[in-house]
Amino acid sequence: MSGRGNSGLLWVGGAVLAMVALRRPAAVAVTAVENYVADSRLNAILPVLQTASAQWGVPVSWLAAFAREESSFNPAAANVASSGDVARGGSWGLFAMTYTTAQGLGFTGPVPDASLVVGGHYFGSPDGLMDPATNADLAAHLLSGFIGRGYGIADAAALYNSGKTLARAPSSTRDTYVPNVVRFQQEYAALDAA
């Protein structure tokens, strides 16, 4: 059994491994335990990121940075509306891809029942987006469009998270999300030379 208690202690099997902040500001360093978990997950999905990078011309470091921020490299990550109703929104997989975004990139997913399509949006099962290769391909496709329009990592992160450029993004995007993605991209820059 593991998790974070209200005290800010990270515990595994009853043993405290590290003190961690429950709501860590962007400038605070990630703990060694969190880095270890992230690095082991990155190694598991690196071939998927490299394939998507080659397909869409997006640096592997960018893909690694976004996957780290969106899901901590967890291909089974899901963020569904509190009601559990897929039609009310949610995001799935390594890059926390939403159906609306995925469909805009050409994703059709499992063949939907006609009753699950409302206003051109598919609200069916997230199974297709849980596939790491599909999710990475869609994210790389989206990011390649940002690169093609001349955006750097900071504006790309703002666009990915909020749909707005850095100058127009909400403060939560500017203050936390963007700095994390930029920092992770710098950490993983060596992957681009591999």
pLDDT in tens, 85-144: 454 467 888 999 887 788 778 776 654 444 444 454 445 456 678 889 888 988 999 999
The closest of 48, 42, 52, 79 to 185, measured between CA atoms, is 42
CA-based torsion, 45, 47, 52, 58: positive or negative? positive
- What is the percent of the chain where pLDDT is above 90? 41
pLDDT in tens, 61-84: 999 999 999 999 999 888 876 444
Strongest mean pLDDT among 31-35, 37-41, 187-191? 187-191
**Residue 37 confidence class, pLDDT cut points 50, 70, 90:** low
Q: What is the pLDDT of residue 62?
A: 98
Mean pLDDT of all residues in 24-35: 49
Considering the chain, what is the average pLDDT of its residues?
75
pTM for the complete prediction? 0.73
- CATH 1.10.530.10 maps onto the chain at 31-192
Retrieve residue 129's tokens: 């987006």
Q: Is a pLDDT exceeding 50 seen at residue 6? A: no
Retrieve residue 134's tokens: 């599909």
Q: What is the pLDDT of residue 100?
A: 76
Q: Is a pLDDT exceeding 60 seen at residue 29? A: no
CATH 1.10.530.10 applies to domain 31-192 = yes
